[in-house]
Amino acid sequence: MNEQEKLQAIQNRNSSYDGKFIFGVKTTKIICRPGCPARLPLEKNIVFFGTMEEAIEKGYRPCKRCKPKLVNQSQEGK
């Protein structure tokens, strides 16, 4: 899966990509799943992450609408 494919998945709100990757929006610092119903971010503001941990480490937080926490769920200690 390359970035172009990921971008397209976001733009088409292709929920079959849910769980395959997550993305952050630089301007809002929100992490979303590809199928998120929220307003589409500008392409230049999209950043891809492999895992939630990685995103959270960079100061992002999960979107309340698509709850990307469910993605890449390993074991949540809390």
Q: Looking at the annotation, which residues are catalytic?
A: 32
- How far apart, in whole angstroms, are the C-alpha atoms of residue 6 and residue 54? 18
Q: Which is nearer to Zn ion, 58 or 65 (CB)?
A: 65
Binding letters toward Zn ion, positions 18-37, x by CB under 5 A? --------------x---x-
38 binds Zn ion (CB under 5 A): yes
9 binds Zn ion (CB under 5 A): no
- How far apart, in whole angstroms, are the C-alpha atoms of residue 46 and residue 23? 7
Return the beta strands (E) in 1-78 as ranges.
22-25, 30-32, 46-49, 61-62
Give the number of residues in contact with Zn ion, rule: CB under 5 A: 6
66 binds Zn ion (CB under 5 A): yes
Residue 32: phi and psi, rounded to 5, are -130, 165
Residues contributing to the site for Zn ion (CB under 5 A): 32, 36, 38, 63, 65-66
